[in-house]
Structure 1
Amino acid sequence: MNASQLKKLLTAYLKNRLNKTDKNLVQNWYDAFGESEAGVPGLGNQREEQLLKDDLLNRIQVQLNQPERPVYRLMSFRNMAASIVLVAGAGLATWFFLAKSAQEPNAGINQFQVITTISGQMKKVILPDSSVVHLNANSRIRVPHRFSLKDRQFYLEEGEAFFEVTKDKTRPFIIHSGQLNVKVLGTSFNVRSYRQLSDIKVTVTTGKVRVSGNGMVYGTLVQGQQITYNKANRAVQRSEVRPSDNQAWINGKVYLEKADFDELALTMRNMYGVSLKNETANKLKYQYNLTIRSDRSLQETLKLICAINGHHYKKKGKEILIY
């Protein structure tokens, strides 16, 4: 592909003339990395910007001299954001061609992209097999550039994610998260595995998943079922839940039911970016049953939290003290 062809393809994208597959790929990835530039690599100083520009332009040159092949590679949304912000006209071309880069048949299987989110940020990730992952705030995933022919390995290293897995009976989808492994063929479900919480939760919206870990199978879940795994004593508890609640956080709602203070504090950090502290007596005994909503202001939510147990709060910067 020469420079003239590159220009035509870029122009086709800008004029909405790409075929449906390419258009959806580009648009979904563009929407996924969000509007926040916090943490985007290459924005620290002029030297970093220049190094990133040089790297992006070098990769474009490589692509111009290679034949076009099918899409297999997943690119970090932050890198895509950096390419658009820093390289302007060439940036979109870089982002597009890195996503469409040519690879040998076995390339990328043992190579990973790490995708993270910060407080108040969520991302929608399109995987190499067209499965979709909604990533909650303060989360981290590790995804291979290409899945192997025998299975689809995925790593939720921190946080929470809702999965919509593309059906493939020949290649099970396996999520590794902390001490648990979740195996599916095609379904939708939620996994919550934050370090600061004492448990890992797997909840099924549709289909069926098998949960295992430590050499044991803990159970097979179907729609509306949940497993709560205690990381300290390895105890497993099964329960029934409303399937519609599993991914409510994607739309800015978190339903807390008999939640301890750590879970409440995590929710507030994810949604508002604040650090919630508690200096009340018997704070470990308190349980919270409420809905945290992103369309409420921080002040409204804090008043609601304090009203539950008759407490007060004071705010200093990003730190909220309950007393």
Structure 2
Amino acid sequence: MKENIKILFEHYLAGKTNPEQEKILMDYLADPTNADSEFHETMEKTWAKQANEPDYSATAVEGLAEVWSKVEERQPKSRLLFPFVKYAAAIVVIISASLGWYAYKKAQQPIETGISFLSKTTQKGEKVKLILPDSSIVYLGAGSKLTWPSHFVKGSLRNIRLEGEAFFEVKHDASSPFIVHSGQMQTRVLGTSFNIYAYPKDGTFSVAVRTGKVKVSESNGGKLKQLSLLTPGMKLLYHLKAHGYAISNGRITEVNAWIKNSFAFKDVSLPDMFQSLERYYNVHFELKAHKLNQCRYNATFTNKSIGEVMEEIRVMSGKKMKYKIDTANKTITVWGEGCQ
């Protein structure tokens, strides 16, 4: 049996196993009684065939993305995400070998201990400041979710996952690149400050850089494609469905303006603006006139109540847009003849 498992493990790393064989392998590895020295020796020999440097290739990153998805599938509602449920040891062992973490795992901790993760989800109208294990700072926007490991390993990738919006102030560490995974998009830095907008339902993804340099890539079908290197003042806007993107230069002060309750919109349609305002102010919009869908605005709202924001939008529309705020139900009904 053990000999078959060793062969199966080697085939797995070579990408030659089918789902049924992978299940057999994970069932075996998930059993703590099977974590014997013979298997470790097999892993060590297999690892010796790999490159000595950590693997940052598209294949390795894609493998890590699978781990992230399994973490999210199995996580409880509480903040602390304990080691994976059934296949914890198996997943960690296999991905460790693929990503270049095996040497550390073998020397520092038992392989079967798994990985613990922390997670924070904000509600509409809420934003929080988080400090990661490496002292990097994250400002998490409304209606967003951040997931990160309980500790980072020196010399290995600092991988975290974001759904929503966040501004990052990353502590510089040339030996440990910091990578933010947002759906099929990946943002990689060494130490810098930047903003990511990645709400899955919006269909758009953006990265805006305040300091340092950021590399943005797209993961598609297991292949990692670099889109652009961004420097201070640059912003990349990516359309998920069309797989197209554009790069612009903006004002650095707008990158993280929302942290100080300043919301900037540039050539944004009214429905898209309302979608963002719903998150920022924890309200719900009901747009009753289709003509208003074509209205586009440039606007910045700083320390304004939602009532003040709506009044400014009404004025910008040439007073053709009308609205009614239902405070009790946190609902804003909008109608009108169009825009100016």
- TM-score normalized by the length of structure 2: 0.62
Distance 1:224 1:314, change over 3 A: same
Take 1:283 and 1:197, find their aligned partners in 2: how far apart are those partners? 19
Aligned residues: 222
How do residues 1-323 of structure 1 correspond to structure 2 at under 5 angstroms? 105-106=108-109, 110-149=115-154, 150-156=156-162, 158-213=163-218, 214=220, 215-293=224-302, 295-309=303-317, 310-316=320-326, 317-323=329-335
Distance 1:131 1:106, change over 3 A: farther
Any conservation in 1 of the 2:79–2:119 contact (CA below 8 Å)?
A: no
Any conservation in 2 of the 1:265–1:277 contact (CA below 8 Å)?
A: no
Q: What is the SS of the residue equivalent to 2:290?
A: coil
Any conservation in 1 of the 2:79–2:118 contact (CA below 8 Å)?
A: no
CA-atom RMSD in angstroms: 2.2
Q: What is the SS of the residue equivalent to 2:126?
A: coil
C-alpha displacement of 1:276: 1.5
C-alpha displacement of 1:282: 2.7
Q: What is the SS of the residue equivalent to 1:155?
A: strand
Take 2:79 and 2:207, find their aligned partners in 1: how far apart are those partners? 30
Q: What is the SS of the residue equivalent to 1:264?
A: helix
Take 1:299 and 1:195, find their aligned partners in 2: how far apart are those partners? 28
Any conservation in 2 of the 1:109–1:147 contact (CA below 8 Å)?
A: no
- TM-score normalized by the length of structure 1: 0.65
Distance 1:128 1:115, change over 3 A: same
C-alpha displacement of 1:127: 0.4
Q: Could you tell me the percent identity over the aligned residues? A: 33
C-alpha displacement of 1:271: 2.4
Deviations 1:240-266 (A, max 9, x none): 011111011000001111112343123
C-alpha displacement of 1:231: 0.8
Take 1:288 and 1:237, find their aligned partners in 2: how far apart are those partners? 19
Distance 1:178 1:79, change over 3 A: closer
Any conservation in 2 of the 1:109–1:145 contact (CA below 8 Å)?
A: no
Any conservation in 2 of the 1:223–1:243 contact (CA below 8 Å)?
A: yes
Q: Equivalent residue for 1:25? A: none
Distance 1:262 1:143, change over 3 A: farther
Distance 1:192 1:276, change over 3 A: same
C-alpha displacement of 1:277: 2.3
C-alpha displacement of 1:109: 7.3
Take 2:157 and 2:229, find their aligned partners in 1: how far apart are those partners? 19
Moved more, 130-139 or 191-200: 191-200
Distance 1:202 1:79, change over 3 A: closer
> Which segments of 5 or more consecutive residues in structure 2 lack a partner in the other structure?
1-77, 81-106, 336-340
> Which segments of 5 or more consecutive residues in structure 1 lack a partner in the other structure?
1-77, 81-103
Distance 1:303 1:106, change over 3 A: farther
Take 2:116 and 2:169, find their aligned partners in 1: how far apart are those partners? 23
Take 2:295 and 2:109, find their aligned partners in 1: how far apart are those partners? 53
Deviations 1:267-291 (A, max 9, x none): 3222221012212233332112111
Any conservation in 2 of the 1:212–1:218 contact (CA below 8 Å)?
A: yes
